[in-house]
Amino acid sequence: MNLPALDVLTHYASLSTPDTQLPPDVYLLHDPWTLTIFDKFPKAKYHFLILPRVPSSSSSDDAGHGNDNQDDESLSAISPRSLISLHSLLTTTTPAEALAVLRHLEETSLEVVDMVKDEMMKTEGFEWTVEVGFHAVPSMRGLESTKLTPAVAMKRHLHLHVISTDLVSPAMKTKKHYNSFHPTLGFFLPISSLIDSLQSILPSTITSPDSSAPFNLAQYCEPSGPLPRYEPLLKSRLTCCHCREEFGNMPALKRHLEEEWEGVRKKGVGRYGLARKKV
């Protein structure tokens, strides 16, 4: 089935049995509340998307797999419209409902990260850091408007990125691509920071573990949306996320990232947040 690009994630999240309905180059795993897929255009060696499933799409075979009944009840009550973006989730649901969605996504991300690190050990003999977070503004063009018709809204779907920090990939082509995944620039929002802020609404400002700047939940949820505040970050100067060296263009940065990666591969060490090495 060929669907417009904006429809694909919503379609995937609505499938009742994604393990049988999706091809193996798309599907990784699912549970009653989440679906994990391979990113079609990965921006690193490992890159996956975790989607909250449309509540009515969960099959009877999935029943009983949740770990928190209160969270499950909160998630079941959420409208699909609230799952179109992070801003929509945080502004059209209660903190408890939003927290339920994020907790399920985070729980799945822990499993995916473990799978990624096992694969790293098998293929390279060492591990490096895997980041888990959201883009502050949806990555697909045309998704940032706050004036949504029902038809447009249903073409959007919230997704959590699980991505390795090498950021080496043929699909990493533009400045916006790179800066959207830079772990300390501020456009990439760690899920742990969002969960912490929801758990502690007052004060609403907490310190993000991946940024020196505070993450302000109330500011992010302003009616104007996150676009005016966050999109300028995509135009920031290109700096290596490992050594902070600055580059004037993407080809130069990509060559540098590939050189960094080759150096790490040869030594099994480096600025990649090495956790353990095969012995």
Distance (Å, whole) CA 157 – CA 153: 8
Distance (Å, whole) CA 132 – CA 109: 7
Q: What is the pLDDT of residue 212?
A: 39
Q: What is the pLDDT of residue 70?
A: 60
Residue 272 binned pLDDT confidence (cut-offs 50, 70, 90): low
Mean pLDDT of 35-63: 84
Residue 80 confidence (pLDDT) above 50: yes
Distance (Å, whole) CA 19 – CA 26: 10
Residue 270 confidence (pLDDT) above 70: no
Domains with residue ranges and CATH for the chain: 5-267 (3.30.428.10)
Asked whether the beta carbons of 51 and 159 are under 8 A apart, the reply is: yes
Residue 271 binned pLDDT confidence (cut-offs 50, 70, 90): low
> What residue has token string 């502004």?
91
Of 114, 113, 45, the C-alpha closest to 261 is: 45
Residue 218 binned pLDDT confidence (cut-offs 50, 70, 90): confident
Q: What is the pLDDT of residue 213?
A: 42
One-letter amino acid at 239 equals T
Residues 6+ apart with CB under 8 A from 267: none
Higher pLDDT, 76 or 226: 226
Of 55, 8, 15, 9, the C-alpha closest to 32 is: 55
| Tokens at 231, concatenated | 């999109």
> What residue has token string 């919230």?
158
Residue 118 confidence (pLDDT) above 90: yes
Q: What percent of the chain has pLDDT over 90?
A: 62
| This prediction's pTM | 0.85
Phi then psi for residue 167, to 5 deg, are 55, 35
DSSP annotation of 193 reads H
254-258 LR contacts (CB < 8 Å, sep 24+)? 254/168, 254/172, 257/166, 257/167, 257/168, 257/172, 258/168
Q: What does DSSP say about strands 47-52 and 34-38: parallel, antiparallel, or unpaired?
A: antiparallel
Residues 6+ apart with CB under 8 A from 38: 25, 26, 27, 28, 47, 48, 49
| Average predicted confidence (pLDDT) for the chain | 83
Residue 238 confidence (pLDDT) above 90: yes
| Tokens at 22, concatenated | 């999706």
Q: What percent of the chain has pLDDT over 70?
A: 75
Of 9, 166, 184, 139, the C-alpha closest to 83 is: 9
CA distances 70 to 77, 89, 96, 100, Å, are: 11, 18, 9, 8
Mean pLDDT of 180-194: 95
Residue 267 binned pLDDT confidence (cut-offs 50, 70, 90): confident
Distance (Å, whole) CA 196 – CA 159: 19
